[in-house]
Chain A
Amino acid sequence: MTSGPAPAPVTPPPTNEGSERLLSVLRSNVRQYGMLVALVVIVVFFQITTDGTMLKPQNVTNVFLQNGYIIVMALGMLLIIVAGHIDLSVGSVAAFTGAIAAVMMVNYKLDPILASAAALLIGGLIGAWQGFWVAYMRIPSFIVTLSGMLLFRGLTLFMLQGQPVGPFPESFRAIASGFIPEPLGAIPDPLGPDTLKLTTLILAALLCAGLIFMDLQGRREQLKYGFQVSPFPQFVARSVILTVAIMFLAYRLAAFFGLPVVLLLMLVLTGLYMFLTGRTVIGRRIYAVGGNAKAATLSGVKTKQMVFLTFINMGVLAALGGLVFAARLNSATPKAGNGFELDVIAATFVGGASAYGGVGTVAGAVIGALVLGVLNIGMGLMGIGIDYQFSIKALVLLGAVFVDVRGKNKDT
């Protein structure tokens, strides 16, 4: 059992091994990559139908500015759905926590950082409240969070006395509409008339280098334990595609104001949650709870505690989403966050999460949110009426989940 070459599998006959492995790799990736391909297709489609307006620097930037809070909340919703639950209250919680921060900053002149911290803390407490009822009192999450949806909408109205509260200090608004400082200035665009923000480009290059480095580390670790890795050319191709995609995005952003703060926040959180779900004990346990709660319990997983924690996490992220949204509007309004829960849940399902729990990825949820976000902006640019927009998004949701469910039925 010590290190050495990969142990030759006894069964099945090795002739099948290669193609079967490839098939299983394809199958396991098809959900995530399938949606990624769909995202690219949608972007290209709008790029053509809007005569190149879609990928204009300003619109690329807007995709992130307009959807940042959805993506942030989708990260929390993913864990909730993977654990086999649902949270309908996120819109109201976002509105309520945004209102609290607003009242603190505007009426009581509290420091934005302190006010934000307090809002996040209250978000966590709200999550704990709902998680308590779901996990320990065994009330279905649908009902608990439906109640939460009403309760926190009511408290928002109470908090704001029915009036919008704003405007906010500049430092607070920066989280939603600001860009990172560009101390290195700008260089002329060799391909166009614009100038490019240098710091954004350098950060993107660093991100690419970091990702490739991590991939290499992973390969090295796999090899050290004597396992097969994908062929080197495949690895190179993957890295090249990734680098081109990231650098292209950075190039578009750099031509506008550079890297939006909210995108940076989103990237950091996405990385964090990918790590949490894929590489940590707690992430694994959440998946097990959603996959088969009874089996997980009998394997020593503290099922209730896991569910409780996912709700606390959701509360904090809903609060963060609320802060970003309030900052974006520059005021906390009684109607803020109306319908967010639907966008967030839709993003998670479009991204391949299973409504029955146990299945779903962070990358999928983010891509799902981007698909819906790009649809919004693209259809807006094409001048499609809001009536059609709703209907088209509805069909995209239904279609994505249908493809997903059908794929799963074929699997078994």
Chain B
Amino acid sequence: MTADKSRGGGGSSRSQSEGDGEGRSVSKALLFLAWLIPGLGHWILGKRVRALVFASVIFAAFVTGVVLDGEIAVPQQNSPLSWFFALGCLGNGILYLLRLVWVNGLDGLLSSAFPYGLHGGGDPVAAGFFYGKTFLYTAGLMNLLVVLDVHDIGIGEKS
């Protein structure tokens, strides 16, 4: 899969022949894969070294967070800010989803209270609880930046 150089949907009438990067778009599937598996977007675009570094860093940060008994962010009822934290943490892609399944089980994920009945795991009385959360949030936000980087490379803004 490669970056799609033609305009996607949406009815835009911008010309794609006006200079480098102008009018290019990136396949949504590529961005989805870049989010789902950290580093995969760069790997597909041929940036193998960057892909391995990003994947390693994000995976290391996420595992450190889990080992420190950190809690992944989940939406809480009556707490609008928790959605922002959850979105940041959701940036971890498949790591976040696997952790959710690990903590809640498939039954918990499919419960009627979804998305509010979820648990983020971790141990609030553990010494590393807040450090762990920091690592988990950092990993998620880094992967979101990676997705933006894939987009920039895809449209030709960056090499």
A and B from one complex: no
